Amino acid sequence: MRLKETLYADLARQYFFSGQTGKSPTALGLMLATFSPRFTPIVIFRLSHWCFQKKLSPLAKILSMVNFVIFGLEIAVRCEIGPGLYFPHTQGTVIGALRIGVNATIYHNVTFGAREVDIEYQAEARPIVGNNVIIGAGAKVLGAVLIGDDARVGANAVVLEDVGPGTTVVGIPAKPINRID
């Protein structure tokens, strides 16, 4: 998916959560949403990831730093995140996952990352998150775990093992409380 199409999908999710369902994202809507603290960090991340893909690493890192300083949101520039990303709030969020699927909703103070200090960003030490996943405020997803499609991670849960599709996990360490078949 191209950058413009991905941003429109992200904007469509913004419209959905703001109660504007049924309205198509427009160029004017994109411009106005750019000033939203829920959408601006997504635009900045998309631009930094695009720069990383185009081998413009210094610019990618500068954009990533802007996100961190202004919005308190740290996202690894190499993390692949599908379209439809939504942050109800961004403060204190660290995303060092390998990949996150489409239509992810990630609340504030969430951490995705390796279990050990990993300066080199080793792919095999990073979480992979499926499609249509909701990660509650304060949750931690650590290590090479897989969060399946349609899974839910409760607030403040610490995920150290794989979470199956349609499963909701809570607690420290996170344990399943239900599964949707």
Tens-digit pLDDT profile for the chain (181 aa)? 688 888 878 877 776 666 655 666 667 765 666 677 888 899 899 999 999 999 999 999 999 999 999 999 999 999 999 999 999 888 899 999 999 999 999 999 999 998 888 777 787 889 999 999 999 999 999 999 999 999 999 999 999 999 999 999 999 999 999 655 5
- Distance from C-alpha of 132 to C-alpha of 151, rounded to nearest angstrom: 7
Q: How far apart are the first and last CA of the chain?
A: 30
Q: Which two tokens stand for residue 36?
A: 């939203």
Of 2.160.10.10, 2.30.30.60, 3.30.230.70, 3.20.20.70, the CATH number of 3-179 is: 2.160.10.10
Q: Is 153 helix (H, G, I), strand (E, B) or coil?
A: strand
CA distances from 53 to 2, 40, 47, 146, 163 (A): 12, 20, 10, 24, 29
| Cis check: omega of the bond before 173, within 30 degrees of 0 | yes
Residue 128's pLDDT is what?
96
